[in-house]
Amino acid sequence: SATRESLSEKLDSVFQGRKQIDAELLDELEEALIAADIGVPTTLEILDRVRRGIARQQINDLAALKEAIKRELLEILRAAERNGVASETSVPDDIRPYVMMIVGVNGVGKTTTIGKLAHRIKAEGNDVLICAADTFRAAATDQLAIWAERTGVPLIQQRQGTDPAAVLFDALKAAKARGTDVLIVDTAGRLHTKSNLMAELEKMRRVAGREVEGAPHETLLVIDAVTGQNGLEQARQFLKTAGVTGIVLTKLDGTAKGGIAVAIAKELKLPIRYAGIGEKIDDLVVFDPEQYVNDLFE
Amino acid sequence: MFESLSDKLKRTLKNLRGEGVLRPEHVDAALREIRLALLEADVNYKVAKDFIARVREKALGQEVWQELKPAEQVVKIVYDELVELLGGTSSRLVFTRQAPNVVMVVGLQGSGKTTSTGKIALWLAKNEERKPLLVSTDVYRPAAREQLKVIAKATGQAIFDLPESNDPVLLAREAVRHARDYGYDTLLIDTAGRLHIDDQLMEELVQIKTETRPVEILFVADAMTGQDAVRSAEEFHRRVGITGVILTKMDGDARGGAALSIKQVTGQPVKFVGVGEKYDALEPFYPDRIAQRILGMGDVLSLIEEV
Ligand SMILES: Nc1nc2c(ncn2[C@@H]2O[C@H](COP(=O)(O)OP(=O)(O)OP(=O)(O)O)[C@@H](O)[C@H]2O)c(=O)[nH]1
Ligand SMILES: Nc1nc2c(ncn2[C@@H]2O[C@H](COP(=O)(O)OP(=O)(O)OP(=O)(O)O)[C@@H](O)[C@H]2O)c(=O)[nH]1
Ligand SMILES: [Mg+2]
Ligand SMILES: [Mg+2]
C-alpha cells in the first residue's frame, strides 16, 4: 500500500512516467512532504515557492522541480545552522567546564544520546563528566551508570528522588575541582505542558549559571524522528524555558523521516546538531543537511 | 494562535443558511478545513483522505437540519464518523479461564512499554481482582530489567526474573511456568523496544508468542507519533498479530491522530490510554473523547450534544 513507501520511493513514483509538471503532480508532492512529517504550513510554503518558479518558467521540467524542492529544504536547514551556537568540538580553552544539558519529552532518547555523546567527545580528547539529574524515572540512574561505564566516563549521582538541581550542583563542583572539559547533564523526560517540571529546568539553568559563568553553554533538545506535529510545540516550549540551542534527531534508523525537525528549524531557527541512528555507542553522527535532504530523495 | 476549526468552519459555511440541502461546494469547502485539521492532528494523510471521502458521501444531499447551523452539522457528521472508526465504545482486555493468561506488551523504543506493563498490572489487581505476575524480556536496553523491578516494587506487584539468563524466550517460558506453579492468573510480559524493520528482533517476538500463547498482544504507541505510525503498527500487526493498542503520553497536548491511523490499518482497538508517569495514570479509552481531541473542538461539540 502507499503508506508503506518512504518519501524517496514516494517521490520517485510521483516523478515516474510523468513528462510534465501538472496540478496532480504537485498534489502528490504535497502528500509526500506531509508524509515525512514536515507539516502542512512548511509544505505549503515550499510548494508555493515552487509554483512561483514554475509560473516564471524557472522550473520547466521534473529534474528542475526535484532540485528546487531539495534547495528549499536545504535552505531551511542551512539558515538554522548559521544561527547555531558554538559547538563542543571547538570549545575555547577558557570555558571549563563546558556544560551541556540534554532535555526533551519522555522516551525520545536523551540518556542514550548522552552515552553516545560522551563517547564521542571523549574520543576528541576531552575529559568528560556525566551528571545523572534524572532522579525521577525508575532505574534512570542505573541506565546512565551503564553508559558511563561503557564509555569509561565518571558519573555524579544521588539517590532517587533527590532534587535534580542539587545533583547538578554537586556535578558542577566536581567538574570544577577535577578540571573537567565537558560536563553533560541528563535530565528526566518531561512533557512541555507540565509547568512545574519546566520550572525545574529553569532552576537547573540558574544553578548552572551561578556556578559556572555562561553555563549551560549548550542545551540540546532531543526529538524522536517519529514525532508528528506536536514536536513544534515541544521545541517552542523548551526553547522558551530551557533556552535550547540545538536539536538532536534520534531514531533515524527507522522508517520515519523526522521531517518535524525541518519545521522546527524553519520556525524557530534551531539547528539540528546530531542524528541518532541506532542504539549502539557509535550510532550518533553530526547532522549533515545535504545528506539528509539527499536521503529524502535517493 | 490558530483559528479554531469551528471558527474556520463557521466562516466557510456562513452562507449556507437557508439552503435546503448540503451541496458539494459547501461540503467540500468544509472538508478542506477538516482535512487540514486531521493532518495537523497527525492522522496519516492517506487515512485522512479516505476518511474525507467517506464523510463527503454521507454529507452530500443531507437536508440542512433545523437545530444546527450547517457548519455544526458537517462537524457532527465528521465527529460521528470519527467515533465510529475509532471503535464506537471502549474495549477491555479479554481473558480466558485458563490460567495463566499471558499479556504481551510490544512496540517501538521509548513508547512507554515498561511503564505501561506496570500500570496494567496495577490496574488488573485493583479493578479486576486479578493476580498478576510481571516479567521483563528486555535483555538489551541498559537497566531495563532493573526498571521493571523498581516499578513492581513501587506498585506492590510480583515479578519474576532469572538474573543469569539473557535469553528472552527462555525468560518468558520460565515465567509462564512460575505463574502456573505459584497461582498467578495473569502474566504480563514486557519486551524490548524494537524497530518494525528489525527482522531479527521482530522474529524474537514471534518466538515469545509461540512459546507463551498470549491472550492479548498490546501495541504501545506514543500519542505524539506522526505519519509513520501506520507503518510501524501495520508491521507489528502483520508479524505478531496485535489485539489492542495502548496510547501513551496523552497527558500532553498532542492531538493523538495516530490513534485513528493505527486503528484504521490494524483494525485493532485502543484499549487504554496512558496519562502520566505515575503508575495509576492509566485510563480506559473512550473514542468520543479522542475524536473531540483530534478535531480540537470541545466547544462545538457541547453544542451538538444538546441536539
Ligand atoms: N533505534 C534507535 N533507538 C534509539 C535511539 N536513541 C535511543 N534509542 C532507544 O530509545 C529508547 C529510549 O531511550 P532513552 O535514552 O532511555 O530515552 P530518554 O529520553 O532518556 O527517556 P526518559 O529518560 O525515560 O525520558 C531506548 O530503548 C533506546 O535504546 C536511536 O537513535 N535509534
Ligand atoms: N507523561 C507520560 N510519560 C509516560 C507515559 N508512559 C510512559 N511515560 C514515560 O515515557 C518514558 C519511556 O517509558 P518506558 O516505559 O521506559 O518506555 P519503553 O517503551 O519501555 O522504552 P524501551 O524499553 O526503551 O523501548 C519514561 O520516561 C516514562 O516515564 C505517559 O502516559 N505519560
Ligand atoms: Mg533518560
Ligand atoms: Mg522498556
CA dist., res. A75 & res. A80, Å (int): 9
B108 or A87, which is more confident: B108
Q: Fill in the amino acid letter for A214.
A: G
Cβ <8 Å between A228 and B197? no
Q: Is it the case that residue A219 has pLDDT exceeding 70? A: yes
Tell me the three cell numbers of residue A136.
525521577
Look at ligand 1, atom 21, and give the residue with the nearest C-alpha. A107
If DSSP states are collapsed to H, E and C, what string results for B34-60?
HHHHHHHCCCCHHHHHHHHHHHHHHHC
A225 lines ligand 1 (CB under 6 A): no
Q: What angle do CA B219, B221, B227 make, to 5 degrees?
A: 120
* Residue A2's pLDDT band (cuts 50, 70, 90): very low
CA dist., res. A118 & res. B142, Å (int): 16
What's the CA-to-centroid distance between B141 and ligand 4, angstroms? Answer: 7
Residue B217's nearest CA partner among B180, B188, B247, B194 is B188
Torsion angle of the four alpha carbons B153, B157, B163, B169, in this order, in degrees rounded to the nearest 10: -140
What's the CA-to-centroid distance between A11 and ligand 2, angstroms? Answer: 34
Percent of chain A with pLDDT over 70: 91
Given a contact cutoff of 8 angstroms between Cβ atoms, the answer to whether B195 and B214 are in contact is no
Q: In chain A, what residues touch B151 (CB-CB under 8 Å)?
A: 138
B109 lines ligand 1 (CB under 6 A): yes
A258 lines ligand 1 (CB under 6 A): no
Shortest Cα–Cα distance, B68 to chain A (Å)? 30
What's the CA-to-centroid distance between A278 and ligand 1, angstroms? Answer: 9
Q: Is it the case that residue A16 has pLDDT exceeding 80? A: no
Shortest Cα–Cα distance, B151 to chain A (Å)? 7
* Residue A4's pLDDT band (cuts 50, 70, 90): very low
Q: Is it the case that residue A267 has pLDDT exceeding 90? A: yes
Around ion ligand 3, residues with a beta carbon closer than 5 Å are A 110-111
Q: In chain B, what residues touch A231 (CB-CB under 8 Å)?
A: 224, 226
Size of interface A-B (CB pairs under 8 A): 148
pLDDT of residue B110: 98
pLDDT of residue A28: 86
Q: What is the mean pLDDT of chain B?
A: 90
Shortest Cα–Cα distance, A228 to chain B (Å)? 3
A residues 114..153 contacting B (CB < 8 A): 136-139, 142-143, 145-147
Q: Of B108, B227, B277, which has the smallest distance from its Cβ to A35's Cβ?
A: B227
Shortest Cα–Cα distance, A142 to chain B (Å)? 6
- H/E stretch holding A130 reads strand A128-133
Mean pLDDT of A260-288: 97
* Greatest CA separation for chain A: 68
pLDDT of residue A22: 84
pLDDT of residue A118: 97
Cβ <8 Å between A109 and B109? yes
Going by DSSP bridges, is the β-strand pair B244-248/B270-274 parallel, antiparallel, or unpaired? parallel
Given a contact cutoff of 8 angstroms between Cβ atoms, the answer to whether A21 and A54 are in contact is yes
CA dist., res. B261 & res. A115, Å (int): 34
Burial class (CB in 10 A: 0-12, 13-18, 19+), A179: exposed
What letter does residue A273 receive in the DSSP assignment? Answer: E
What letter does residue B15 receive in the DSSP assignment? Answer: G
pLDDT of residue B15: 58
What is the pTM assigned to this prediction? 0.95
Name residues whose C-beta falls within 8 Å of residue B6's C-beta, 6 or more positions apart in sequence: B71, B72, B75, B297, B299, B300
Per-residue b or e along B242-253, where b marks 16 or more CB atoms closer than 10 Å to that residue's CB: bbbbbbbbbbbb
pLDDT of residue A12: 66
Cβ <8 Å between A138 and B228? no
* Residue B2's pLDDT band (cuts 50, 70, 90): very low
Q: Is it the case that residue B161 has pLDDT exceeding 50? A: yes
Cβ <8 Å between A3 and B265? yes
Sign of the dihedral defined by the CA atoms of residues A34, A39, A40, A43, in that order = negative
Q: Is it the case that residue B70 has pLDDT exceeding 80? A: no
Q: What is the mean pLDDT of chain A?
A: 91
Q: In chain A, what residues touch B224 (CB-CB under 8 Å)?
A: 105, 224, 227-228, 230-231, 234
Mind listing the pLDDT tens digit for each residue in B197-216?
A: 999 999 999 999 999 999 99
Q: Is it the case that residue B306 has pLDDT exceeding 60? A: no
Mean pLDDT of A223-249: 97
Most confidently modeled range among B3-17, B56-70, B164-178: B164-178
Percent of chain B with pLDDT over 90: 71
Q: Is it the case that residue A162 has pLDDT exceeding 60? A: yes
Residue B21's nearest CA partner among B56, B63, B59, B67 is B63
Shortest Cα–Cα distance, B72 to chain A (Å)? 24
Around ion ligand 4, residues with a beta carbon closer than 5 Å are B 113-114
Sign of the dihedral defined by the CA atoms of residues A101, A105, A109, A112, in that order = positive
C-beta neighbour count of B91 within 10 angstroms: 18
Given a contact cutoff of 8 angstroms between Cβ atoms, the answer to whether B252 and B224 are in contact is yes
Residue reference for cell 469547502 = B29
Provide DSSP, B73-115: HHHHHHHHHHHHHTTSS-------SSSSEEEEEEESTTSSHHH
Q: Which of A57-66, A195-204, B4-13 has the lowest mean pLDDT?
A: B4-13
pLDDT of residue A60: 87
pLDDT of residue B169: 98
Q: Which residues surround ligand 2 with Cβ inside 6 Å? A: A 106-107, 137, 189, 191; B 107, 109-115, 138, 141, 144, 192-193, 220, 248-249, 251, 274-277, 281
Beta bridge partners of residue B63, listed in sequence order: B21
SS3 call for B299: helix
Mutating which of B5, B224, B232 best tests the A interface, going by the most A Cβ atoms within 10 A? Answer: B224
Beta bridge partners of residue A276, listed in sequence order: A284
Mind listing the pLDDT tens digit for each residue in A60-91?
A: 888 889 899 999 999 999 999 887 655 556 66
Q: Which of A47-51, B132-136, B170-174, B274-278 has the lowest mean pLDDT?
A: A47-51
If one residue of A111, A112, A143, A146 were mutated to test the ligand 1 pocket, choosing by the most ligand atoms within 8 A of its CB, it would be: A112
pLDDT of residue A3: 36
Q: Of B197, B227, B253, which has the smallest distance from its Cβ to A37's Cβ?
A: B227
Mean pLDDT of A95-113: 97
CA dist., res. A13 & res. A1, Å (int): 13
Name residues whose C-beta falls within 8 Å of residue A58's C-beta, 6 or more positions apart in sequence: A64
A289 or B13, which is more confident: A289
Q: In chain B, what residues touch A27 (CB-CB under 8 Å)?
A: none
A35 touches chain B (CB under 8 A): yes
A159 or B305, which is more confident: A159
Residue reference for cell 497527525 = B42
Look at ligand 2, atom 13, and give the residue with the nearest C-alpha. B112
Cβ <8 Å between A255 and B231? yes
CA dist., res. B160 & res. B189, Å (int): 10
